[in-house]
Amino acid sequence: MTKVIQLLLCTSIVAFSCQEGTVQANTEALTQDSIKQNQEALLKAEEERQKPITAQDIKLSKALTYDKHSLEDNYTYNKKAREFQWDKIKEKLAYIENFQKNNNHYGVISNYKNKNGEAPTVASFSRNEYKRVADTLGTERYQSVPLYTIDHHQTPIIYGRDGSLVNILSDNKDGMIRVQGLSNFEGEWDIPERYVKSIGDTISFKHIVVVDVTNQNICAIEHLGDQWIIRSMNPATTGRHNPPYGMKTPVGIFVLQEQKPKMFYLKDGTSTIQGYAPWASRFTNGAYIHGVPTSDPKAPIIEYSATLGTIPRSHMCVRNASSHSKFIYDWTKPLSSLVIVID
């Protein structure tokens, strides 16, 4: 009887051991499957994140915060059709979303009124109608910065326009900083340190102002969640080509750099203050988004002008209703907002 019991006990132990081994093997297999599934899910999520965003992916809706002097999506001026170019604007917003997916150390190149020193003459240049030196792309030397080929610092190749956004790739080395152009120029370049202002690696550009030099309008767009919200749609007047003083508002993407409650301006060709423009936000060179200018530095603010939204007539700036320029002034923040100029 004892031998039978012992035999049964041995058989049970063996069976239990086999069952325990099977459970352990199954558990290990499930764990490995779970790890593999998690890895595949993470890989898929990363691939999806890296997938370029297109204009078709941009969700754009309208919820105006500023609703004075508002324009429709499509309207007429002087019997000619005008519009807000939403498709083109979506392309620019997609571009901004794409570069913000990367780990960038943002910087803005800056040389307003040559305050950081006049840029050296590029290897190949010409003089434009304003008697100023310009590179082969038409960018003027005045108020711009020199862009050098990597590790070749004798003569710059082109100029970078004031207010352009860059990704800083390396720290100061022999007085030079290596950057990648994110707006207005492409590729990697070396730039003297004094021309580059670091704005950090935690900035998120969520407030965007779009100026249309063809349709003479302006809109403000805010990024919330997974969509972009239109906050204003207004008439504007941009710069016109009128040597020696008037210049077109340049097309491109610029960092909003500074703001002034009153931007005093001089009478052409003199050092005499002629008047001021209220609520001015500067984005490149001497180009500001501002309210209706006065012809007297002591005059009260003028709210609106019948010339807004008609044809270019400014020196380079973007005029709009003074209350709208105040809205832009309060709504944006220097060095963390962008101005897009389209044609």
What are the tens digits of pLDDT across the range 83-121? Answer: 999 999 999 999 999 999 999 999 999 999 999 999 999
Question: Would you place residue 16 in the very low, low, confident or very high pLDDT band (cuts 50, 70, 90)?
Answer: very low
H or E element that contains 34: helix 2-50
Which residue in this structure is represented by tokens 């009887």? 1
Structure tokens at 343: 């044609």
Handedness of CA 321, 325, 327, 328 (dihedral sign): positive
Residue from 331, 91, 105 nearest 222 by CA: 331
In CATH terms, the fold of domain 106-200 is SH3 type barrels. (2.30.30)
Q: Is the pLDDT of residue 222 over 90?
A: yes
Residue from 265, 262, 264 nearest 325 by CA: 262
Q: What is the dihedral of CA 212, 343, 100, 140, to 10 degrees?
A: -110
Q: Is the pLDDT of residue 164 over 60?
A: yes
Contact, 147 vs 189, CB < 8 A? Answer: yes
* pLDDT for res 31: 75
Range(s) within the chain of domains with CATH label 2.40.440.10:
55-101+204-342
Question: Would you place residue 57 in the very low, low, confident or very high pLDDT band (cuts 50, 70, 90)?
Answer: very high
Q: What is the CATH number of domain 55-101+204-342?
A: 2.40.440.10
Specify which residues 337 forms β-bridges with.
207
Fill in the amino acid letter for 267. Answer: K
Q: Is the pLDDT of residue 8 over 50?
A: no
Strand order in the sheet with 60-62: 60-62, 227-235, 217-224, 207-212, 337-342, 252-255
What are the tens digits of pLDDT across the range 228-257? Answer: 999 999 999 999 999 999 999 999 999 999
Structure tokens at 315: 């020196």
Phi and psi (nearest 5°) for 46? -70, -40
**29 vs 308: which has the higher pLDDT:** 308
Range(s) within the chain of domains with CATH label 2.30.30:
106-200
Residue 240 class from Cβ within 10 Å (0-12 exposed, 13-18 middle, 19+ buried)?
middle
* pLDDT for res 226: 93
Average pLDDT rounded to a whole number, residues 43-66: 84
Question: Would you place residue 30 in the very low, low, confident or very high pLDDT band (cuts 50, 70, 90)?
Answer: low
- What does each C-alpha distance from 114 to 48, 143, 195 come to in angstroms? 44, 5, 10
Residue from 240, 262, 317 nearest 285 by CA: 317
Question: Would you place residue 139 in the very low, low, confident or very high pLDDT band (cuts 50, 70, 90)?
Answer: very high
CA dist 260 and 328 (Å) reads: 12
